């Protein structure tokens, strides 16, 4: 437990560094976009590739992306029920639904790595596959439906098919199954890139942090559905499918993840309520810094 706490403190400090650099105008929001792109295209694929080479494959691993799908659809139906009683105009309702569904799995990766090493990281990455798949398919469709910009099915599938972490997962799986040996120089390079994941993600999230109060009651309702509803969905999933051990811990923690920053990205793309989305993401990150380490410690 003490070791985990010692590893969590630097993660929180990196988030603070991102906030400070943003306030000093050293980094702008566009720089946060760049940092997250670097993690998406470089560090996270490198981590996934390395982890997949080493992981011992087991049937229960396939429950992880499935669990992400169950959580997304569960929170969608819960949120949809609440929209019958909470009055919102169409664009705000779209952002409301996105915030309830999208899990900030990128936020979870550094914590999984700190708590459970590479074994935890690859399981978080597998959970993320299910989350990302639905972000660029079902959730993207919801954003288009409520937004003012029309997208094509081709563009949605193209985004999904070109995601580097997905290809890293496939290549890593092939290397694992074939027992192929990767040259040491390449693995060392991948390790350098993989080590960048935590700094890139946490500094970027600090840059994104915008403590603006907007629709407090609706923000609170989104958090209730995203965190508590997601947590209950995760617990129900592991009970029904009898998932145990580290897989169960990753599902529980990831299911209760904060609101994902793609809520803001998709809201901007489809002309939804961007201000509401910014408030959702910012305060959710701050909340996650507090409760995610506690949740992980409770499962230690």
Segment 83-103 mean pLDDT: 92
Distances (CA, A) of 199 to 15, 43, 193, 263: 8, 10, 11, 22
**CATH fit for domain 2-298, picks 1.20.1530, 1.10.3470, 1.10.260, 1.10.20:** 1.20.1530
Whole-number pLDDT of residue 172: 83
DSSP state of 137: I
Q: At residue 5, does pLDDT exceed 70?
A: no
C-alpha span between 132 and 109 (Å, rounded):
14
At 180, the pLDDT band (50, 70, 90 cuts) reads confident
Q: At residue 188, does pLDDT exceed 70?
A: yes
| Domain parsing of the chain, residue ranges | 2-298
User: Which structure tokens are listed for 75?
Assistant: 């929170």
User: Which structure tokens are listed for 22?
Assistant: 């943003």
Half-sphere exposure of 248 (CA within 13 A, CB side): 13
C-alpha span between 214 and 280 (Å, rounded):
9
Whole-number pLDDT of residue 55: 67
pLDDT digits (tens, 9 = 90+) for 191-235: 899 888 878 877 887 887 776 666 788 999 999 999 999 999 999
Name the phi and psi angles at 103, rounded to 5: -95, 140
DSSP character string of 179-235: TPPPPHHHHHHHHHHHTTHHHHHHHHHHHH-------HHHHHHHHIIIIIIHHHHHH
* Cβ–Cβ < 8 Å for 99, 277: yes
**Longest pairwise C-alpha distance within the chain:** 59
Over pLDDT 70: what percentage of the chain?
A: 89
């Amino acid at each position: 437990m003490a070791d985990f706490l010692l590893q969590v403190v630097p993660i929180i400090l990196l988030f603070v560094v991102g906030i400070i650099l943003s306030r000093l105008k050293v980094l702008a929001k566009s720089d946060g976009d760049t940092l997250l792109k670097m993690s998406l295209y470089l560090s996270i694929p490198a981590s996934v590739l390395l982890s997949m080479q080493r992981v011992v494959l087991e049937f229960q691993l396939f429950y992880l992306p499935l669990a992400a799908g169950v959580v997304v659809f569960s929170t969608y139906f819960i949120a949809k029920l609440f929209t019958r009683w909470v009055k919102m105009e169409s664009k705000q309702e779209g952002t409301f639904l996105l915030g309830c569904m999208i899990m900030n799995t990128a936020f979870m990766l550094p914590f999984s790595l700190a708590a459970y090493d590479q074994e935890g990281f690859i399981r978080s990455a597998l959970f993320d596959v299910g989350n990302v798949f639905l972000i660029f398919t079902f959730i993207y469709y919801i954003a288009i439906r409520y937004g003012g910009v029309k997208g094509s099915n081709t563009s949605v599938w193209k985004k999904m098919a070109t995601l580097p972490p997905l290809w890293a997962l496939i290549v890593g799986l092939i290397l694992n199954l074939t027992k192929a040996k990767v040259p040491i120089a390449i693995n060392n390079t991948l390790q350098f890139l993989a080590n960048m994941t935590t700094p890139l993600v946490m500094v970027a999230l600090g840059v994104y942090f915008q403590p603006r109060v907007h629709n407090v009651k609706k923000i609170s309702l989104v958090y209730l559905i995203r965190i508590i509803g997601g947590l209950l969905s995760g617990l129900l999933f592991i009970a029904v499918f009898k998932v145990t051990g580290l897989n169960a811990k990753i599902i529980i923690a990831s299911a209760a993840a904060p609101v994902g920053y793609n809520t803001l990205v998709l809201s901007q793309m489809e002309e939804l309520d961007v201000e509401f989305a910014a408030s959702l993401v910012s305060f959710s990150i701050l909340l996650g810094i507090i409760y995610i380490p506690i949740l992980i410690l409770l499962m230690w």
